[in-house]
Amino acid sequence: MNPFKRFRSTNRGNSSQHPTPHMTWASRSISNSLTRTSGFLRTQLWIWPIIAVLVLGSVGVLTKSLVESTIRTNLSSGLQSLVKLESAMLEKWFLVQQANAEQLASSQPVRKAAYPLLATPATQDQLDSPDQTPHRELQKHLGHAMTSHHYVGYFLADSSQRIVASSHRTLIGQTAIPEYRDFLSTCLDGKPTISPPFPSMLALPDANGRLRPGQPIMYVCAPIRDEETFQVIGALALQIRPEQEFTGILQLGQVGATGETYAFNADGLMVSGSRFDEELILLGVLPDRDDAESILNVQLRDPGGNLRDGFRPTQRRSTMPLTRMAERATAGTSGVDVDGYRDFRGVPVVGAWEWLPAYKMGVATEVELAQAFRPLVILRRTYLTLFAMLLLSSIAIFVFTIAWARARREAQKATIEARHLGQYRLEEKLGEGAMGIVYRGHHAMMRRPAAIKMLNIDKINEESLVRFEREVQITCQLNHPNTIAIYDYGRTPEGVFYYAMEYIEGIDLQTLVTQYGPQPEARVIHILRQICGSLFEAHSQGLVHRDIKPANTMISRRGCEPDVVKVLDFGLVKAIDDDSKRSDHALTGTPLYMSPEAIQSPLSVDACSDLYAVGAVGYFLLTGSPVFEANSIVQLCRKHVDEDPTPPSERTKQPISSQLEHAILSCLEKKRAMRPQTARDLAQLLNKCPNSHAWSVEDGDAWWSRHARGARRRQETASPDQETAKSSLEQTMDQTS
């Protein structure tokens, strides 16, 4: 035997009581959410500008981030490529100069002239002699090459770094000059080299032809080797003016109006010319002289602020820290910085640098931050302008929407005050609930009386509109004579939502008991059977009322028939297979007549839940009191869930048959399985009562003849209070949920 058959048969047997859950809950929830959202966006036009602002803001932030990332990547790549290109050009020029010097130092005439000088250094007297000395021979053989390669001087040093010959006589005889020590040591080790620019210790002609010490010079140096042993016995150094080819190569790296490429030594001293010499004089970095220049006079130190913007440092320049670029470069590293740092003027720049360890100097390319990110600045300004315009437009639309909403509300109030609603003419106010107001009126053409319910314009929102439309749509599906009939539904040009239903000139069951006390058994059965008829049709279409109570049920004299029951207010109706939009803890209904499952699990209400309320209504009609009474909603709900009701026969003096009491108490069972399963089942129980047909037409006519006029008068004064009480109770329930 299949062990699962028992479970399957059990599930089939209980399918009518506990419907199986649908697997489409997620899709329905998403569909409901989309529907509510689209409805909200259609009615709340002011939200669109705000959405546009948020979307544009998000797009702007994302675009800015992407553009900035792209600019940073391209800028970093461009700066690195430029500084590597400049460094390669400079190194190529160095190699050419070294090759030239090496070619001269190894030429036969130069070596023949140099050997005697290196073996027996010339004296000052020999240099002054008109005879052809070895020094003059050396000068003669170097002259043509120096002219063609733009060398402006030379000297010859022996292995002890003693200068034995020079185009500057004051150098002859000097030993181990500090400025020459490094490059001479490298050269005497057998490697041709070139020195970074440094200030001359001799008076040399400047750009204006005046002799001044401290002029920038640099030397390319090549070893002189012994002809037989090939050992280095001296060094030939050729003097170069760095402000010519050296600085010219670096000035090729100028980018735009603010970019420049320059060289610096291990001390952070600029050893090439800057394009900003005039600006540096104005900023006080260079002295105010016609011959002032940046080469060998500008230290790459961070002043701590932008000198161009008027910042003035409080410490001497020699005590300032190196710029971020110079600090990293002199540490022997190469790199790029596009985040921005201050240069020697304090101006924010981006840059890349390359350290050349063989020559103990660095090359840097820098561009002002404002120029480097100018496209981003333009994009940002354009975006901010558009964003500001959209924001102002949004504010204007929002203000206009508020003004329009106020004007519309005033127009709605004026429409109501004018007592004209579409095709209907309003006559008098019958009552007001939490959601809407009910007027008595008549159709302008057919002159048919109608009860016209409209939404309260002071409390209208998206949820109330949905519930209002749902009440109309569902009630229109029901055709039972004991269900209120809907005539019309619409919205005025001013936006007032309304629907017209049949006008019932009678009283609700709450007023019936309040004014006239407990009702006889025969009449209660007559009323309950009609309620069952209305609910059976609704339940057959898969609808649950969820708010059956005396105030939602009216009796009247209709078509010469007394005690005709009409079930009202299908605003809380729920499809049995519908996934409610409320949470499991959202109560719907009136606590005095709510079933235990409606309190504990509102999503699980079904037809049996309505029958619990019918039993509570019958209990109230028989006894004049609700099933349970309490001082608070919480206590009342607890009683519905846990306590057994007192039999109605013990709470009234009038006789109640055991069959009717059984029918009422079976409806009030805590477990749904023990209640009547359909409204027709309950009607059959009522038909078995001894007095099921005892309330005749004559009895009804007699009652309405005695009480109709007084009931109408009391209803006109009592209905607003009852509707207000109903509103208060519903509001209390909304707060509870």
Q: What pLDDT does 734 receive?
A: 39
Residue the block writes with tokens 């402006």: 152
Q: What pLDDT does 202 receive?
A: 84
Q: What pLDDT does 571 receive?
A: 57
Residue the block writes with tokens 């000059």: 177
Q: What pLDDT does 648 receive?
A: 94
653/168 Cα distance (integer angstroms) = 142
Query: By CB neighbour count within 10 A (0-12 exposed, 13-18 middle, 19+ buried), where does 38 fall?
Result: exposed
Q: What is the pLDDT of residues 554-600, one digit of tens each?
A: 999 887 889 999 998 775 555 555 544 444 444 555 789 999 998 88
Once rounded to an integer, what is the mean pLDDT over residues 693-699?
91
Once rounded to an integer, what is the mean pLDDT over residues 25-53?
58
| Domain 107-241 = CATH 3.10.20.30 | no
300/325 Cα distance (integer angstroms) = 9
200/279 Cα distance (integer angstroms) = 26
Once rounded to an integer, what is the mean pLDDT over residues 161-188?
90
426/438 Cα distance (integer angstroms) = 10
544-562: burial string, b at 16+ Cβ within 10 Å, e else: bbbbbbbbbbbbbbbeeeb
686/535 Cα distance (integer angstroms) = 15
**What does the block give as tokens for 625?**
């009191």
Give the pLDDT band of residue 2 (cuts 50, 70, 90): very low
Q: What pLDDT does 461 receive?
A: 66
Q: Average pLDDT over the chain, rounded to whole? A: 82
Task: Decide if pLDDT at 544 tops 60.
Answer: yes
Task: Decide if pLDDT at 250 tops 60.
Answer: yes
Q: What pLDDT does 95 receive?
A: 94
Q: How far does Cα 341 stand from its chain's mean position?
A: 31
Q: What pLDDT does 29 receive?
A: 52
- Do the Cβ atoms of 325 and 363 come closer than 8 Å? no
| Least confident among 43-52, 206-215, 310-319 | 43-52
291/274 Cα distance (integer angstroms) = 14
- Do the Cβ atoms of 293 and 277 come closer than 8 Å? yes
Once rounded to an integer, what is the mean pLDDT over residues 222-247?
91
Task: Decide if pLDDT at 546 tops 90.
Answer: no
| Least confident among 22-36, 75-89, 406-420 | 22-36
Which 3 state secondary structure label does DSSP give 263?
A: strand
Expressed in angstroms, the distance from the first to the final Cα of the chain is 49
Domains 107-241 and 506-736 share a fold: no
Class of domain 419-502 as given by CATH: alpha beta
* Torsion angle of C-alpha atoms 530, 531, 536, 541, degrees rounded to 10: 120
Between residues 80 and 717, which one has the greater pLDDT? 80
Q: What pLDDT does 679 receive?
A: 93
Query: By CB neighbour count within 10 A (0-12 exposed, 13-18 middle, 19+ buried), where does 75 fall?
Result: middle
| Domain 506-736 = CATH 3.40.50.2300 | no
Give the pLDDT band of residue 542 (cuts 50, 70, 90): confident
Q: What pLDDT does 3 receive?
A: 39
Q: What pLDDT does 364 receive?
A: 95
721/72 Cα distance (integer angstroms) = 73
237/156 Cα distance (integer angstroms) = 6
Which 3 state secondary structure label does DSSP give 635?
A: helix
- Greatest distance between any 2 Cα atoms in the chain: 165
**What does the block give as tokens for 160?**
């002890």
Once rounded to an integer, what is the mean pLDDT over residues 116-136?
64
Domain ranges of the chain: 107-241, 419-502, 506-736
Q: What pLDDT does 730 receive?
A: 39
**What does the block give as tokens for 314?**
């409080």
Q: What is the pLDDT of residues 475-525, one digit of tens each?
A: 778 889 999 888 888 777 666 778 788 888 889 999 999 999 999 999 999
Q: What pLDDT does 467 receive?
A: 72
578/96 Cα distance (integer angstroms) = 90
- CA distances to 111, 185, 295, 683 from 223, in Å: 11, 10, 28, 126
